[in-house]
Amino acid sequence: MEQRILGIDPGLAILGFGAIICQKNQNSVQHDSVNLLDFGVINTPAGTEIGQRLCTLYDDLHTLIKEFQPELVAIEKLFFYRMSNIILVAQARGVVMLVLGQHNLPTVEFTPAQIKQALTGYGNADKQEVQQAVARELNLDTIPKPDDAADALAVALTAWFQI
């Protein structure tokens, strides 16, 4: 059984995405496998009006969904970093949820601690440990950059581990 999972690390200035394709094998001879489809970020310039930045996210997310055709989307739950940033991230996350709803895509959400636990076995792992786990699980020679894309891949892998 093959499944495409799109992971999203929500943000207004930088929204990370990572797409993986997973294969669950029903027989005991072959192992389950996961492969990287693509990863990257959607950037919205700080000097641009907020409505335009949200429109960019909206349009680009539709394009990503059309390109990757995921069966499942995993998104990081809102986490309180800095109070000044939380409202902007919440607005971006709202756009993400709207687009996912428009495509009728099943969605799972994970806290940062759940993602760290799934990838490293330790809910308080640091960012470097999580990124190394992403590279290891996807058989990559280097850690995906930028960090937001690596975080999105971590969210997608967490969803895969939960299936």
Q: Which residues are catalytic?
A: 9, 76, 148
Which runs of consecutive H residues, i.e. helices, occur in 103-143?
A: 112-120, 127-137
In this structure, how many other beta carbons lie within 10 angstroms of the beta carbon of residue 32?
12
Rg (CA), the chain: 15
Q: Is the peptide bond before 70 cis (omega within 30 degrees of 0)?
A: no
In this structure, how many other beta carbons lie within 10 angstroms of the beta carbon of residue 3?
16
